[in-house]
């Protein structure tokens, strides 16, 4: 059994028209866009770092550098697939995921079930093993000032014989 933690933060840019930001593989409508090289899905980025960290395999920046053109605007769930394949190759799989998103808006409650289902499917887990929570920063700091969004993830890996 191995435990890993991951964290990611991205700048939010206000927009005049309604746009969408990716959170856990789900496009959430809001008046912001994420500034990032890839699609900027902080939840998936933190999940990847948690998986890599559990087995001391580095971090997302080492695996998918933001200097590589092939990663420009790429969907973050595409980065997760080879990481999960590497875990499997090393004899591990994700058993459970717990996450917390930090943002003022958009409100995630209407989307949390879709996010959980998307991540459970990507990880090959039952829905009861994927937790997604959201917290505001009560107006404090860059997240509270609606200048950033961040996510923290903890994963539990188990050995598998597949």
Which pLDDT value is given to residue 36?
85
- The CATH number for 45's domain is 3.30.1330.50
Write out the residue range of the structural domain in which residue 130 sits.
2-159
Q: How far apart are CA 151 and CA 102, in angstroms?
A: 6
What's residue 9's pLDDT? 96
What percent of the chain is modeled with pLDDT above 70? 99
Pairing of strands 92-102, 148-159: antiparallel
- Provide the domain count of the chain: 1
List pLDDT tens digits, range 128-138: 999 999 999 99
Contacts of 99 (CB under 8 A, 6+ apart): 24, 43, 46, 47, 131, 132, 133, 151, 152, 153, 154
3-state secondary structure 13-37: EEEEEEEEEEECCEEEEEEEEEECC
Specify the pTM: 0.95
The 10s digit of each residue's pLDDT in 11-36 is: 999 999 999 999 999 999 999 999 88
Q: Residue 87: CB partners within 8 Å, gap ≥ 6?
A: 51, 55, 93, 94, 157
On the question of pLDDT at 98 being above 90, the answer is yes
């Amino acid at each position: 059994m191995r435990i890993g933690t991951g964290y990611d933060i991205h700048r939010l840019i206000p927009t005049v028209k309604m746009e969408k930001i990716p959170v856990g593989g789900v496009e959430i409508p809001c008046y912001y866009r994420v500034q990032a090289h890839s699609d900027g899905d902080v939840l998936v980025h933190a999940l990847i770092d948690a998986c890599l960290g559990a087995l001391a395999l580095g971090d997302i920046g080492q695996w998918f550098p933001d200097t590589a053109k092939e990663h420009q605007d790429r969907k973050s769930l595409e980065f997760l697939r080879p990481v999960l394949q590497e875990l499997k190759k090393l004899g591990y799989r994700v058993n459970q995921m717990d996450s917390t998103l930090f943002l003022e808006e958009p409100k995630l409650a209407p989307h949390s079930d879709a996010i959980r289902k998307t991540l459970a499917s990507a990880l090959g887990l039952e829905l009861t093993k994927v937790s997604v929570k959201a917290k505001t920063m009560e107006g404090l700091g860059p997240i509270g000032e609606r200048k950033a969004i961040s996510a923290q993830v903890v994963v539990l890996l188990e050995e598998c014989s597949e």
